[in-house]
């Protein structure tokens, strides 16, 4: 299958009839946000051997490449509107592999109602690389920012934290079901789009957890000019990660600083605490309060006794500025 | 230099104060086309060992990565408005290399008045890969398409054809100045933005020459449902390529089918032939008529005697459908 057959036969159906995609038959696409709306643009690349394992199922690689971008849109409260994809394919990649990759992408684009608008397919002497740029819409001027948190705001997270760190590291001592759960969480993130919708006009700041909980809350701190305290006991953990901590308590640090969970972290004014149930219901995902924003800078993590938990450089690396 | 220092110290200045870039301090950018305008979106990735040589000067690699995208905007008659960049950097890439890369990019973004709005920086076990998505604006519904050519239209090209094919192939028999000229043409394309502006409302179809003259005119044929005849003697050639043909006449085929020239090919109604001088002046580049669109399908190339020149499969590969 050459480049042009691949585009015409496999990718063109993914445009889902979007008129601005021109059936992938032009040099460029056109996109026009609804009147009174901003286009939100985010770009994330995933690279074989870095963001996924080379032997991961091809459909899951496609899903991850898409979903890490949709997760950014979710964190910004944006409604997905389309993607463009630059796909760098190693020589010798078989047609079956490509078909499975596209099937995974097609399933997700259908599920999320997102059209493929354009892109580029090229060969590479390196590993498979998928660089997606995703577009979303927000009412003009309402994108949820990293900046905007205020001292006293509640820090909240969706879902459970540390699953992807466990999925990436693996631990043969755990039950098979815990290992499978964590691997799935690492391979196939769940973009929290419904929660992001519910956070419009409610969250003062937000981010998705891609670098790790501590680092990403740190990004909110930096951009908001504040510090944060996270109560470790309040961080929601799955049964799999609780097994992992039982095997070695030092894994707490890996759970709090590991990347790729793709849950949302966001800041709520304290008087909105009563809305957590509504947000969780709308987002179809549990939401927990894990700490507070305050003056200063950087992120401190405290144990149940109020003692600061020292984190290795990995967790604090991006916060030392 | 870690990822965050790289973004903060080297990339953030490239936002050129664009408010929607948020100083590269957020997960996403916002962009809003002017009222009554469409956003034109194009994505092209360049990969080390495929689109540039690994020992090419880093600033030139950045320029090429940007310019191949600006060239698409030029072909569509769009005014550049910004880019996002996913940059995959091999482990061990030195700070000096990164600084030179960014300096090349910064120079071009300044020259073309284009802000960096966002992106992603990641490591790769493969070669340097730069996936840029570029945004431009056109008045709503006026993007120059590959579709739209009519039988009888003049096929025109800017600049000279085949220089990049020579630059990539190299030929030690040629004069040093011819070799240097061709190498420069291959490494640093000239996006024909001013010509693209002049073509708004004038060209019935357009494309930039990235796959090769014959293949790209073939793309116009496919999308317009027509065929094309190119007169080989009318195709504008540089002195360097004329030297190359003198060394071996078979190089004509390589010049007509080689990629990466990044000139514009476009179709004009015959009654607009008198406007060529105006278009060339506005575009600050020579413009030549090289053939005509007609009924049928595919591209035929004829010599001065009217005989069809047989092209090897490379030139016709994309046209056999």
The predicted pLDDT at position B1 comes to 82
Give CB contacts under 8 A, 24+ apart, made by B94-101: B95/B1, B97/B58, B98/B1, B98/B6, B98/B10, B98/B58, B99/B10, B100/B57, B100/B58, B100/B59, B101/B58, B101/B59, B101/B61, B101/B62
- pLDDT, tens digit only, all 321 positions of chain B: 888 899 999 999 999 999 999 999 999 999 999 999 999 999 999 999 999 999 999 999 999 999 999 999 999 999 999 999 999 999 999 999 999 999 999 999 999 999 999 999 999 999 999 999 999 999 999 999 999 999 999 999 999 999 999 999 999 999 999 999 999 999 999 999 999 999 999 999 999 999 999 999 999 999 999 999 999 999 999 999 999 999 999 999 999 999 999 999 999 999 999 999 999 999 999 999 999 999 999 999 999 999 999 887 544 332 222
Find residue A120's DSSP bridge partners: A86
Q: What is the pLDDT of residues B37-65, one digit of tens each?
A: 999 999 999 999 999 999 999 999 999 99
For all residues of chain A together, what is the average pLDDT?
A: 95
* Residue B85: count of CB within 10 angstroms of its CB: 26
- Residues above pLDDT 70, as percent of chain A: 97
Find residue A31's DSSP bridge partners: B39
The predicted pLDDT at position B312 comes to 73
Smallest CA-to-CA distance from A43 within A150, A153, A129 is with A129
Which chain B residues are Cβ-neighbours of A35 within 8 angstroms?
A: 35
Distance from A95 to chain B by nearest Cα, in Å?
18
Please state whether beta strands B116-124 and B79-90 pair in parallel, antiparallel, or not at all (unpaired): parallel
Report yes or no: A127 at the B interface, CB cutoff 8 Å: yes
Smallest CA-to-CA distance from B4 within B128, B97, B122 is with B122
Can you give the pTM of this predicted structure?
Answer: 0.94
The predicted pLDDT at position A317 comes to 39
Smallest CA-to-CA distance from B158 within B263, B67, B276 is with B263
CB contact under 8 A, A131 and B126: no
Task: Name the B residues in 58-97 with CB < 8 Å from any A CB.
Answer: 72-73, 75-76, 78, 84-86, 88
Report yes or no: A119 at the B interface, CB cutoff 8 Å: yes
Which chain A residues are Cβ-neighbours of B222 within 8 angstroms?
A: 25
On whether the CB atoms of residues A190 and A202 are closer than 8 A, the answer is no
Question: Measured between CB atoms, which of A26, A75, A84 is closest to B133?
Answer: A84
Nearest 5°: the CA angle A258, A264, A270 is 120
Task: Name the B residues in 147-166 with CB < 8 Å from any A CB.
Answer: 147
Task: Report the C-alpha gap between A150 and A204 in whole angstroms.
Answer: 8
The predicted pLDDT at position A101 comes to 98
Distance from A129 to chain B by nearest Cα, in Å?
9
Which chain A residues are Cβ-neighbours of B40 within 8 angstroms?
A: 28-30
Helix or strand run (H / E) with residue A278: helix A276-283
Helix or strand run (H / E) with residue A102: helix A95-112
On whether the CB atoms of residues B311 and B251 are closer than 8 A, the answer is no
Select from B1, B28, B40 the residue whose CB has the most chain A CBs within 10 Å, as the one to mutate to test that interface. Answer: B28
Task: Name the A residues in 216-235 with CB < 8 Å from any B CB.
Answer: 219, 222-223
CB contact under 8 A, B26 and A145: yes
* pLDDT average, residue stretch A185-203: 97
CB contact under 8 A, A30 and B43: no
What is the separation of C-alpha B3 from the centre of its chain, rounded to a whole number of angstroms?
Answer: 30
């Amino acid at each position: 299958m050459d480049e042009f057959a691949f585009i015409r036969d496999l990718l063109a159906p993914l445009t889902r009839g979007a008129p601005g995609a021109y059936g992938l038959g032009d040099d460029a696409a056109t996109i026009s946000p609804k009147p009174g709306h901003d286009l939100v643009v985010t770009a994330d690349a995933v690279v074989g051997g870095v963001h996924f394992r080379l032997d991961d199922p091809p459909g899951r690689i496609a899903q991850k490449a898409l979903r890490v971008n949709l997760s950014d849109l979710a964190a910004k409260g944006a409604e997905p509107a389309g993607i463009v994809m630059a796909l760098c394919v190693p020589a010798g990649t078989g047609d079956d592999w490509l078909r499975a990759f596209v099937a995974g992408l097609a399933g997700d684009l259908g599920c999320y109602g997102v059209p493929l608008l354009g892109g580029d397919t090229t060969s590479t002497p390196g590993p498979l690389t998928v660089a997606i740029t995703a577009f979303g819409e927000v009412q003009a001027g309402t994108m949820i920012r990293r900046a905007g948190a205020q001292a006293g705001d509640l820090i909240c997270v969706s879902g459970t934290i540390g699953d992807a760190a466990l999925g990436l590291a693996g631990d043969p001592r755990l039950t098979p079901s815990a290992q499978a759960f964590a691997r799935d969480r690492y391979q196939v993130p769940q973009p929290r789009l419904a929660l992001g919708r519910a956070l419009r006009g409610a969250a003062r700041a937000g981010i998705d957890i891609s670098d790790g909980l501590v680092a990403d809350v740190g990004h909110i701190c930096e951009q908001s000019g504040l510090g944060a305290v996270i109560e470790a006991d309040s961080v929601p953990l799955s049964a799999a990660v609780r097994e992992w901590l039982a095997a070695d308590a030092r894994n707490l640090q890996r759970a709090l600083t590991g990347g790729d969970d793709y849950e949302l972290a966001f800041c709520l004014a304290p008087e909105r605490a009563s809305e957590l149930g509504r947000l969780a219901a709308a987002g179809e995902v549990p939401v927990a309060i894990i700490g507070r924003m305050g003056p200063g800078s950087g992120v401190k993590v405290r144990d149940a006794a109020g003692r600061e938990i020292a984190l290795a450089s990995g967790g604090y690396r991006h916060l030392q500025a």
